[in-house]
Amino acid sequence: MRVGREEDLAVRFRRLEIYEQDLSEHFVRSGGHGGQNVNKVSSCVILTHRPSGITVRCEEERSQARNRYLARKRLADRIEALRKSQRDEERRALERRRRQKRTRSKGAKENMLRAKRHRSEIKKYRRGPLRDE
């Protein structure tokens, strides 16, 4: 069962173009519960993806191997979320440009011109009566 999850993660890394040589991995001692194991073993994993600068820290499990897997999974989640937000932003910008370029319908154009004339009349009356000199 565990091998299947690691294979899924490897497939996900390939899809996201995350390569092992781009990862920097450090091991430090965890904090919190765990007693003697926490004090003896450097089971906390700090994983850095150098191209993107994203750093992930995982110290949830007592096992270093499990923390390595979870850190890689979190890193893939973060990179995937970052790329998704970039795609969504590009899509929104494209849609905004498309809406701005779209020609107005006849009714919308008439309403806009009516509103402009109305605003012009209001401003004209603000100036006061015209003087004959």
* Calpha distance 74→13 (Å, rounded): 11
pLDDT at position 132, please?
Answer: 59
Q: Is the pLDDT of residue 3 over 70?
A: no
> What SS3 state is found at 22?
helix
* Calpha distance 8→130 (Å, rounded): 80
pLDDT at position 69, please?
Answer: 93
Write out pLDDT tens, residues 12-39: 999 998 999 999 998 888 777 767 767 7
Q: Report percent pLDDT > 90 for the chain.
A: 53
Q: Are 27 and 45 in contact (CB under 8 A)?
A: yes
Write out pLDDT tens, residues 52-74: 999 999 988 888 899 999 999 99
Average pLDDT across the chain, whole number? 87
Write out pLDDT tens, residues 62-117: 888 999 999 999 999 999 999 999 999 999 999 999 988 888 889 999 999 999 99
Task: Please give the single-letter amino acid code of residue 52.
Answer: S
The DSSP secondary-structure symbol of 127 reads T
- Residue 79: which of 6, 4, 25, 23 has the closest Cα? 23
Instruction: Let me know how long the chain is.
Output: 133
Q: Is the dihedral of CA 73, 75, 79, 85 positive or negative?
A: positive
pLDDT at position 80, please?
Answer: 93
CB proximity list for 35: less than 8 A, separation 6 or greater: none
pLDDT at position 98, please?
Answer: 92
CB atoms inside a 10 Å sphere around CB 47: 20
pLDDT at position 1, please?
Answer: 39
pLDDT at position 46, please?
Answer: 94
* Calpha distance 37→43 (Å, rounded): 9
